[in-house]
Amino acid sequence: MGTALVYHEDMTATRLLWDDPECEIERPERLTAALDRLRQRGLEQRCLRLSAREASKEELGLVHSPEYVSLVRKTQVLGEEELQALSGQFDAIYFHPSTFHCARLAAGAGLQLVDAVLTGAVQNGLALVRPPGHHSQRAAANGFCVFNNVAIAAAHAKQKHGLHRILIVDWDVHHGQGIQYLFEDDPSVLYFSWHRYEHGRFWPFLRESDADAVGRGQGLGFTVNLPWNQVGMGNADYVAAFLHLLLPLAFEFDPELVLVSAGFDSAIGDPEGQMQATPECFAHLTHLLQVLAGGRVCAMLECPGVHPECPCCPSPVLEEPAAARPHESLVREEALTALGKLLYLLDGMLDGQVNSGIAATPASAAAATLDVAIQRGLSHGAQRLLCVALGQLDRPPDLAHDGRTLWLNIGGKEAAALSMFHVATPLPVMTGGFLSCILGLVLPLAYGFQPDLVLVALGPGHGLQGPHAALLAAMLRGLAGGRVLALLEEDSTPQLAGILARVLRGEAPPSLGPSSVASPEDVQALMYLRGQLEPQWKMLQVRLIAEGPLPWGPALPQRSVGRAGQVSAENQLQCRRPAARLLPAPPPVVPSSPGGLKSAKVGAFTPQK
């Protein structure tokens, strides 16, 4: 189905006509630079190109007052002095004779993108638009924003396509207060925003940008603000916010569509944002969102930043290749044939000929085949190998404890952290427990480990349903540049093999169905492992403080407030609290896969006084 790219060159027409240092950074080059980079990387030609149309008066009226739309329309015939006088009535805004046309194109681009995605013409897409929109309110321009592009798209999706649950993720460095105001009493829209806040001392200087602004009326609990109280937030902070806060809520909300207010002033190199997240980080964030809503993700440009090229993390020195161990179970012809196919596929992945794949093996040879695959990967170019083994599969006894292999067994008899690189946990019995395990343990460890090869082995008695296996494989695809090899037993159902093949090709995993609370046993196992592993794994050193009643709760079990990584027991999933705060943690290391995520510090958030 592919990806749509929506754009129109007329959106570069508006520009500042007078001297205004506050507004001079909003200029046409911010849009053309983004398009030029897409063309340089050959990405534009890989997308379905759509030319933006103008939003109609009725479509603008979905969120804006008729009087305000009429006011903006009149700017087409105003002189420079009149435009400057009108601009002065709003905060950080300028009008131009082309503003109305450009703003209608920006809103219309979002509508076209949503229609293309929801009708199945494409799977996802990006709207390159200008002017931006997330600060715009019902009857007011604000912060360079004229019409609220994302809000109009959300209202359109509800009205025209009959959607009931829409997730809006706003990763711009400024709070999108316009979106918040428009949907704060609407439980059909879950709005999540992180933003530079500094206790209200950063624009837009609003009290309602703080974490305790959670919506009102029927929308209580459907606004989630994560205000950063210091600059310098990096890859680890952003990934941790997704894993520990956004995604647990998003899975429970179960959106039918994801809209992204994609402002890149929250990335490294932007003088206003002063954050440290690399461009590659946003690829990982986007990938994590694509497991939601059947992969229906629409991103709309807010404020693009200027980003320097970022070097990848240094790689550890490779050891001498290890010799493959003999295995009696591989003597049989069918086992050797299956092993040969697996090694052929694995070599192709390591050589860059293919990105991912599935291999089948006789059940009796599953453990031996996995052992050989690990040794082959480590001796043929993989520097760090992540193995997620499900079912009755034990870690090879003579696998070196050199930090190059992270072994995670889901399906063990009991929770055990035999070392920081050898972890076992029982298979959670409830869907809520499975999600908690993936978001609260597997992915934080995986992102901290930075693998360049991932093996997912579904061994004897793995007990995993197809949608659960698909979700696990899909979320792991964001690591190791997508180099994921799934190993199945030959007697696995065709449905399981088919669903894994589809997600490894990039399709979204199917829904897990209605959300459920993790069982007490699952909570206990997860919290025990987090407590054991937290000192060694920085991505686990995150803590939340929850405040007030929520109509729902986070999907991750939590513990007492203390040092990073701990939250009080009364704030567990069953509690109903409205606001969560990320608190400081030491600097974790995050992935060097696609493009190389660098290590970054955590510690943007401080308790409310």
Q: How crowded is residue 397: how many other Cβ atoms within 10 Å of its Cβ? A: 7
Tokens of 224: 């989630």
Q: What is the dihedral of CA 490, 435, 168, 211, to 10 degrees?
A: -160
**Percent with pLDDT over 70 in the chain:** 85
| Calpha distance 520→529 (Å, rounded) | 14
| Calpha distance 50→349 (Å, rounded) | 34
For every residue of 225-271, which 3-state class applies, written as one string? Answer: EEEECCCCCCHHHHHHHHHHHHHHHHHHHCCCEEEEEECHHHEECCC
Among 186, 99, 189, which residue's Cα sits nearest to residue 146? 99
More confident residue, 193 or 548: 193
Q: State how far the alpha carbon of 175 is from the alpha carbons of 172, 178, 235, 240, 608, in Å.
A: 7, 9, 19, 19, 18
| Calpha distance 74→146 (Å, rounded) | 13
pLDDT at 382 over 90: yes
The residue from 101, 135, 175, 195 that is catalytic is: 135
Contact of 170 with 176, CB cutoff 8 Å: yes
Helix (H/G/I), strand (E/B), else coil: 445: helix
For residues 336-360, one letter each, b for 16 or more C-beta atoms within 10 angstroms of the residue's C-beta and e for the rest, the string is: eebbeebbebbeebbeeeebbbbbb
The pLDDT of 152-165, averaged and rounded, is 98
pTM of this structure: 0.88
For residues 23-38, one letter each, b for 16 or more C-beta atoms within 10 angstroms of the residue's C-beta and e for the rest, the string is: beebeeebbeebeeeb
Active site residue 195: no
pLDDT at 154 over 90: yes
Q: What is the pLDDT of residues 317-366, one digit of tens each?
A: 333 334 445 566 565 778 888 889 999 999 999 999 999 999 999 988 89
Question: What is the structure's pLDDT at 315?
Answer: 30
Tokens of 43: 């990405």
| Calpha distance 278→407 (Å, rounded) | 28
Q: State how far the alpha carbon of 491 is from the alpha carbons of 269, 360, 432, 459, in Å.
A: 52, 9, 28, 11
Q: What is the pLDDT of residues 530-581, one digit of tens each?
A: 999 999 999 999 876 554 444 444 333 332 222 222 222 222 222 223 344 4
Question: What is the structure's pLDDT at 556?
Answer: 36
| Calpha distance 587→564 (Å, rounded) | 11
Question: What is the structure's pLDDT at 413?
Answer: 86
pLDDT at 517 over 80: yes
Fill in the DSSP letter of residue 569: G
Q: What is the pLDDT of residues 35-51, one digit of tens each?
A: 999 999 999 999 999 99
pLDDT, mean over the chain? 86
Helix pair 99-118, 149-161: axis angle to 10 deg? 40
- Please, which residues have CB within 8 angstroms of residue 599's CB and are 6 or more apart in sequence? 234, 235, 236, 313, 587, 588, 589, 590
Q: What is the pLDDT of residues 232-257, one digit of tens each?
A: 999 999 999 999 999 999 999 999 99
Question: What is the structure's pLDDT at 120?
Answer: 96
Fill in the DSSP letter of residue 120: T
